[in-house]
Amino acid sequence: MALLVIILAGSQTAFAQFTGELPFGKNKIQYQNFDWWYVQSDHFDVYYHDDGYYAALFTAHKAEQALAIIQDQLSFTITKRIAIIVYNSHNQFQQTNVIDQYMYEGIGGVTELFKNRVVIPFEGDYAKFAHVIHHELVHAVINDMFYGGSIQSLINNSGQAMLPLWMNEGFAEYSSVGGLDVKTDQFMRDVAVSEYLRGLNQLNGYFAYRGGQAFWSYVAAKYGPEKVGEVFNRFRVLRDVERTFQSCFGMSYEEMSEQWSKDEKKFYFPDVDRYDYVEDWAQRLTNHQKENNFYNTSPAISPDGTTIAFISDRGSGVFGLYTMDVKTRDVKKLVSSSQSTDFEQLNFLTPGISWDPTGRTIAIGGKAGGEDGIYLVDVVSGDYEVLTFGLQTIGGVSWSPNGRYIAFDAAQGAIQSDIYVYDLQTRSLSIITDDLFTDREPAWSPDSKWLYFISDRGEHLNGVYTPKDYSMWDHDVHQQDIYRVELQTKSIERITNDPSIGKYSIAVAPDHASLLYTADYNGITNIWELNLQTRQKVARSNSLQEVSQISITRDGTQLAFASQNRVGYDLFLLKFPFDAPTRDTLPRTKFRQQELDEQNSLAGILSDVNRPSSEPSAVGYGQFDILLADAAIVEPNEDINPDDVSGGGSPIARVDMEPREYRVSFTPDVITGNAGYSNWFGAQGTTQMLFSDMMGDHEIYFMANLFLDLTNSNFFLQYA
């Protein structure tokens, strides 16, 4: 008998030993030890670390709300409690041991199948956080519904069919936003009018999310929302996509795919006559199709308009910081995350590149060790220095016109995202908006005295809003408006008042008389100008494709922006944006019009219900035969607590606010084995067992290779 015991204290875990999925080329670095606690609700155990208590409470409330929606859509009730593990930032999320995969910035959350754990980071944006909670919870419910909620159950029932990626991810997006949304509508418009849409088989990668969401929205609109859940339940029984589609739609998978593709084109093709192709009203600077890449984003035009800095995945496919000469179109790579151990990772999903007034240095946010930092990059030499402030998440960066300050939005912990200002002369950091609300996209006024920004704060301007006196889970985190704050007094003023309209980036006019911003009033993100005196707005574009991430020169004569165009992202230049044709309104997209019709219909119903009546009226519900002889008194259900039922009759999920300390305990992840008997060799077999704790910090792996008897058998025990 041979017994081998190994204790590992590195990145190579017992899970990797068991699965063979060792990470290659990207090791996880543990920058800190986490002090774990948890709170409980009716269906969830929400784990948090250090100062993440408030984010955990938000998670529990939003998860319970999301679960009610998901279970109703799927006509399925979960069989087990679900664990949700919340990290205070993406940098800390990257240190997770729950799974071995390295969490690049594009990964906003993950749901694993060993223990059906949801693992998510809080990045300061409550609307994004609520979306990710719902999205990942869909996967946890589907894991329970289709696979029994664990790898062990999936192994024990090897006949289970795997859901196609687009069905799974598409439904997660469909459920989390309640159908279609502006972002996916814009994405699908570009795909359709670019003649790229060919059917369901092309829904891979990012397209699986957007295209899948569009397909389920199409099904709900054409057949009714209940049809979506029916498809999943039929697939659960039939375990085959082809048979499922035949049963649900009366069409084969290929026929349904073709029909969806044709109907999407019919839906979007008329828009070609109503809106302008982006290259018809702006000058195209990059061409992702010819350059064989996908992303050209985050343009920042230099103060004199000669150079544009941007982020791209051109060449090696690794995101890098580039500059382009506007006149010659020559492109130069300054730095990428693959070139330096210090410049670890660009924040390409929360971009914000900004030039200093001299045009010699660029400021950009990026990962710097276990936190985010601001890199100051020399555009000639490519040399850089990094500013760190102990902040976990840094988003948009904006250099003041007088050159003294750098403003940026950042989240210090798992509570809030605020606007910060760093004084380059005094080397001091100030927090400008210090409250619970999500503040982002800072933009300076020409005199460097005001900061404009986008926020979900609504009417909450100058008050004290802390975790002790305000509950963000009861706040409308999806509202968006533009505000400004005076740098010296920190007094906040609301600039726009249409919170249901998405707003994304801001550029202030050189004379401070107006500002440009991108917003989706008509269902497509266009350039709008707002007069700061009269508060009147006009559209400066009527684009077929979205307009995002605008940047203007010091004199306001040139504006750079990014746009999804022909299923990729490119940079464009608009000259004299303040002289562009104006429109008071833009034609609404079909999707935006449908949204308004639904809102007006609902408002009409509510108005009729609430309208006082001068006379009592009788309403008939049809004719019925009533047999009074069969009448009986129904006894009340003593198992139902009246306090647990809302006025609408739906159970109210409870969240226990009491924090509980996490204690390490081992539970099985996988137990497998096989046995046999030979007339020559006798009994033989192999057993493998993997146990771990909830955080994946401790793992025990045991393997037994049995042969004849214990003397001839081998045993392997590993702790990591």
Give pLDDT tens digits for 356-393: 999 999 999 988 888 999 999 999 998 999 999 999 99
What Cα–Cα distance (Å) separates residue 136 from each residue in 89, 108, 120, 270, 542?
Answer: 17, 9, 8, 35, 36
**What pLDDT does residue 20 have?**
43
Name residue 671's beta-bridge partners: 689
Give pLDDT tens digits for 564-587: 999 999 999 999 999 999 999 999
CB-CB contact of 118 with 418 (8 Å): no
Residue 13: pLDDT over 80: no
**What pLDDT does residue 367 have?**
87
Residue 164: pLDDT over 60: yes
Q: What are the strands of the beta sheet with 526-531, ordered from one edge? A: 503-508, 514-519, 526-531, 537-539
CB-CB contact of 147 with 114 (8 Å): no
416-446 as b/e: b if 16+ CB within 10 A? bbbbbbbeeeeeeeeebbebbbbbbbbbbbb
Radius of gyration over alpha carbons of the chain, in Å?
Answer: 28
**What pLDDT does residue 18 have?**
44
Alpha helix (H) ranges present in 87-225? 90-93, 126-147, 151-156, 165-177, 182-193, 206-223
**What pLDDT does residue 684 have?**
83
Report the pLDDT averaged over residues 517-521: 98
Residue 346: pLDDT over 90: no
Q: Is 323 helix (H, G, I), strand (E, B) or coil?
A: strand
Cα distance between residue 279 and residue 191, in whole Å: 16
Q: Quick one: pLDDT band at residue 351, thresholds 50, 70, 90?
A: low
DSSP symbol at 272 = G
Of 187, 178, 179, 214, nearest to 199 by C-alpha is: 214
Cα distance between residue 586 and residue 596, in whole Å: 15
Cα distance between residue 185 and residue 589, in whole Å: 9
Cα distance between residue 589 and residue 467, in whole Å: 39
Q: Quick one: pLDDT band at residue 153, thresholds 50, 70, 90?
A: confident
Dihedral over Cα of 289, 294, 298, 300: its sign: negative
Cα distance between residue 575 and residue 373, in whole Å: 33
Which H/E stretch holds residue 55?
helix 53-74
Report the pLDDT averaged over residues 84-91: 96
**What pLDDT does residue 317 have?**
77
Name residue 41's beta-bridge partners: 655
Tokens of 632: 């009986």
Pairing of strands 331-336, 345-346: unpaired
Using CA atoms in the order 271, 277, 280, 282, what is the torsion angle rounded to 10 degrees? 130
Which H/E stretch holds residue 65?
helix 53-74
CB-CB contact of 34 with 49 (8 Å): yes
Q: What angle do the packed helices 590-610 and 182-193 form, to 10 degrees?
A: 150
Phi, psi of 146 (to 5 degrees): -100, -30
283 Rama class: left (phi>0) / alpha (psi -120 to 50) / beta: beta
Q: Mean pLDDT over all residues of the chain? A: 88
Tokens of 715: 């045993």
CB-CB contact of 167 with 212 (8 Å): yes
| One-letter amino acid for residue 588 of the chain | R
Cα distance between residue 95 and residue 32, in whole Å: 9
Give pLDDT tens digits for 399-434: 999 999 999 999 987 889 999 999 999 999 999 999
Give pLDDT tens digits for 299-334: 999 999 999 999 999 987 788 899 999 999 999 999
Q: What angle do the packed helices 206-223 and 165-177 form, to 10 degrees?
A: 70
665-698 as b/e: b if 16+ CB within 10 A? eeeebbeeeeeeeeeeeeebeeebbbbbbbbbbb
265 Rama class: left (phi>0) / alpha (psi -120 to 50) / beta: alpha
Of 36, 84, 118, 180, nearest to 664 by C-alpha is: 36
Quick one: three-class SS letters along 564-586? ECCCCEEEEEEECHHHCCCECCC
- DSSP readout, 694-708? TTSS-EEEEEEEEES
* Mean pLDDT lowest among 67-71, 357-361, 706-710: 706-710
> Which regions of 243-305 does DSSP assign to beta strands (E)?
283-284, 296-301
Cα distance between residue 572 and residue 574, in whole Å: 7
CB-CB contact of 325 with 306 (8 Å): yes
**What pLDDT does residue 551 have?**
97
C-beta atoms surrounding 9 within 10 Å: 7
Cα distance between residue 18 and residue 104, in whole Å: 24
Q: Which residues contact 549 (CB under 8 A, 6 or more apart)?
A: 297, 298, 299, 351, 504, 505, 518, 561, 562
Phi, psi of 342 (to 5 degrees): -90, -50
Report the pLDDT averaged over residues 34-53: 97
Of 390, 503, 388, 385, nearest to 443 by C-alpha is: 503
- DSSP readout, 220-249? HHHH-THHHHHHHHHHHHH--HHHHHHHHH
Q: Quick one: pLDDT band at residue 614, thresholds 50, 70, 90?
A: very low
**What pLDDT does residue 30 have?**
84
Q: What angle do the packed helices 226-238 and 126-147 form, to 10 degrees?
A: 40
Cα distance between residue 321 and residue 540, in whole Å: 29
Burial class (CB in 10 A: 0-12, 13-18, 19+), 572: buried
Pairing of strands 331-336, 320-325: antiparallel
Cα distance between residue 437 and residue 512, in whole Å: 26
Which H/E stretch holds residue 17?
helix 14-19
Residue 613: pLDDT over 70: no
CB-CB contact of 416 with 438 (8 Å): yes
Cα distance between residue 307 and residue 362, in whole Å: 11
Burial class (CB in 10 A: 0-12, 13-18, 19+), 66: buried
What Cα–Cα distance (Å) separates residue 465 from each residue in 408, 438, 471?
Answer: 21, 12, 9
CB-CB contact of 563 with 547 (8 Å): yes
Q: Quick one: pLDDT band at residue 155, thresholds 50, 70, 90?
A: confident
* Mean pLDDT lowest among 101-115, 257-271, 598-612: 598-612
